[in-house]
A and B are shown apart, each in its own frame.
Chain A
Amino acid sequence: MTASADPTELVIEGTTAMVRKIGPWLHGVLGELPDDEAGAIAARLELAVHEVAMNIIDHAGLPVAAEIRFSAGITDSVVEICVTDPGLPFDPAGVRIPVAGVPQERGYGLMLVRKLVNDLDYRRVDAGNRWTLRVNRTPPADSQKTGNEHQP
């Protein structure tokens, strides 16, 4: 892991083993939130950011020793995580969407991300990719009824 002086930022090598750094970093970043809110948001974001990072590692064709950068921002209403990488452009058309009730081994990563966050944005920026994940700070009480972690 590359050291960062800013605790709201994390930089990791683009390898599978490094994704275990994401959870502890997120829990630290969200430590300023009330305990119950921090726990609920961290649980959702840890899986969502982890899946975005693995999607990059598996599919972005990262150059050797490439880094993935994470940054966090917290406002009164939302927690936002930006993930940037120097890999190939993401092609949404290449994502095989799982069919409900039909088990398959691949394709669940981004489906999970979309269910876990309130907003997911992808942009090609300069020579890399930027993913932005946003989670509202007040999760609805009946979120589990939708099968999502947030209201559609």
Chain B
Amino acid sequence: MIDPDTVRTSRDSGLTVGVATPAAGLTVVTLGGQLDAVAASDLRARLDESDIAGCPQIVFDLAAVDFVDSAGLAVLVWQRRSCRAHGGDVVLVRPDSDNAMRVFRLTQFDQIFRMLPQQQDD
């Protein structure tokens, strides 16, 4: 569960970023909006902050992301390399939007990243 107090919305890009640490060494980053070139640098900066940097296992919940471009994809690949260097990995929660899934499918990153279905509210 993301603490609403941790959710930040970038003034420049409109990307919302929520961070939770449900267990030691595991961080859940919940994104909303457009994960594109406009948002990429803000997200990289957030991932470099002390509460996330160096965490070996990161789950990016992309369910509420409605657009991803190659620059957004690059941030996830960059973070994957960092996590794997720390003995962990990046796992993605699948976007609800077909538009957002398109870039993963066309680059075959849907087969490179471990992608989880969305959580059901029941």
Instruction: Give the contacts of B52-75 with A (CB-CB under 8 A).
Output: 67, 69-71, 73-74
**Chain B residue contacts of A43, Cβ below 8 A:** 98-99, 102
Interface size class of A (residues with CB under 8 A): 20 to 34
B103 at interface by CB-CB < 8 Å: yes
**A15 to nearest B CB, angstroms?**
10
| Cα A100 to Cα B99 with chains together (Å) | 21
The majority secondary structure among interface residues of chain A is helix
Contact of A105 among B74, B103, B108 (CB under 8 A): B74
Interface size class of B (residues with CB under 8 A): 20 to 34
| Cα A150 to Cα B37 with chains together (Å) | 25
**Chain A residue contacts of B12, Cβ below 8 A:** 17
The majority secondary structure among interface residues of chain B is helix
**Chain A residue contacts of B34, Cβ below 8 A:** 20
Are B106 and A149 within 8 A (Cβ)?
yes
A137 at interface by CB-CB < 8 Å: no
**A47 with B69, Cβ < 8 A, contacts A105-B77, A116-B106, A148-B106 known:** yes
**Chain B residue contacts of A111, Cβ below 8 A:** 106-107
Question: B71, B111, B112: which has the most chain A beta carbons within 10 Å?
Answer: B71
**Chain A residue contacts of B80, Cβ below 8 A:** 103
| B→A interface (CB under 8 Å) | 12, 34, 36-38, 67, 69-71, 73-74, 77-78, 80-81, 98-99, 102-103, 105-109, 111-112
